[in-house]
Amino acid sequence: ARHRRRDPPLGCQPWHGAAREALERCGALQRLCDAMAHAPSAPLIAAAAATVAALTAASREPAGVASHFAFTAAGFVVAGMLDHPSTLRLQLACCGAVHALARRSPALGETLATAGAAAACVGAMNRFRSAGASSSRLQAAACAALGALLPHAAAMRQLEEGGGLRLLLRAVAEHGSDSPADAAVSMCGWRAVLALLGAPGTASAADAAADAASPSPLIHSLTPTLAQAELLPLLWLSLRVHRSQPAVLCACAAALSALACEDARRAKLGRTDLFCSAERRGALQAIEAVEVLLPGVRDATLARTLCRASDALVAVAGSRGWLAPAELAALHASLRAAGAATVIESSDEHRRALRRLECAQELAAAAAARKRGARPSVVGQPPQPVQT
């Protein structure tokens, strides 16, 4: 009633916040658990799961804090998914609840994984693959839930048994249009792929990733053949189709950065089983993707991610002499422009990427000078002729 009396132009967010606080004070989670325990019908569980997701996602409790009733609700949500596998509305609401609860605290995520939440999400993705907005919403919600669950070993095993990386890539490939629903599938799908690769998206640049003493990112179900045949072509497609969706671009760029940093680490160790930079054509294609995205970047997080990807890619391609001086100069100018547009010039990622490019330019200039029979010179100065 108070919400109805509120003048709509003034906004209703304060009343939504007050309603959530009132529901938390009166024990809404406990009442929802009681309802699901006494009347476990599909419509009731669907409505209760949607409410659990909304209350959990909007909770003002510190991250990592969860009540006893949140754990009870998690059990009822997973049980509902397993008992009503053919109800789309219930599966969609429960996937949203699994995502919200798993992000609430690691203990809740472990409870959900042990109860079989990842297997339930995989089953929902396999059953509801038809075209339509509802199917797209379910695929996006299931990918988001899997991404939140994958840090736990039980969820990782369940996903591997249900298809692993290929299941996530299939979901992204089957929803490849530029519609908002398919964009959500791409965003959540690539975030789940990133979680499966074992990289949180904030890894250091090539210097730290290529250090032989640093641990390798946990790469599951991914071989260079699978990466080059399926993952990378789909990644380039998502970058091209969703260029106007910053959230999708951030997820795709984080996946590219994780693969590039792993390539730099393997190249430092002398290994040849690389993902993006196994050959000159693949490395140049990845660098071109970074260079195409940089001019339109207005998000600082995306700019930092692209700087990390550029640093790692140039570390491999530059050391092998695959980049011409003109290509290095163009990438250097794009990085400077992106740094100025997003105010990240002082960040470690930006400075490291620029320094990497400057070193690569010096090496390229030295190689060109040797071919012409002149002494290597500093970038920006004319080469000195060899005195005989």
Q: What is the pLDDT of residues 2-38, one digit of tens each?
A: 444 444 444 556 667 777 778 877 888 899 999 999 9
Would you tell me how many other CB atoms lie within 10 Å of the CB of residue 59?
Answer: 19
- Closest-CA residue to 194 (of 142, 139, 252): 252
Spatial distance between the Cα atoms of 323 and 321, rounded to a whole number of angstroms: 6
Spatial distance between the Cα atoms of 85 and 125, rounded to a whole number of angstroms: 11
Q: Are 122 and 139 spatial neighbours (Cβ–Cβ below 8 Å)?
A: no
In order of 105, 107, 125, the CA distances from 71 in angstroms are 10, 9, 24
Q: What pTM, to 2 d.p., does this model score?
A: 0.83
pLDDT score, position 200: 39
Q: Which amino acid, one-letter code, is at 241?
A: V
pLDDT score, position 380: 52
For residue 344, report the phi and psi dihedrals to the nearest 5 degrees: -125, 20
pLDDT score, position 123: 95
- Closest-CA residue to 260 (of 231, 237, 292): 231
Would you tell me how many other CB atoms lie within 10 Å of the CB of residue 234?
Answer: 21
The 3-state DSSP class for residue 384 equals strand
Give pLDDT tens digits for 229-251: 999 999 999 999 998 888 999 99
CA of residue 279 relative to chain centroid, distance: 25
Spatial distance between the Cα atoms of 337 and 334, rounded to a whole number of angstroms: 5
Question: How is residue 230 written in tokens?
Answer: 């399926």
Which ranges of the chain have pLDDT less than 70?
Answer: 1-15, 131, 199-221, 373-388
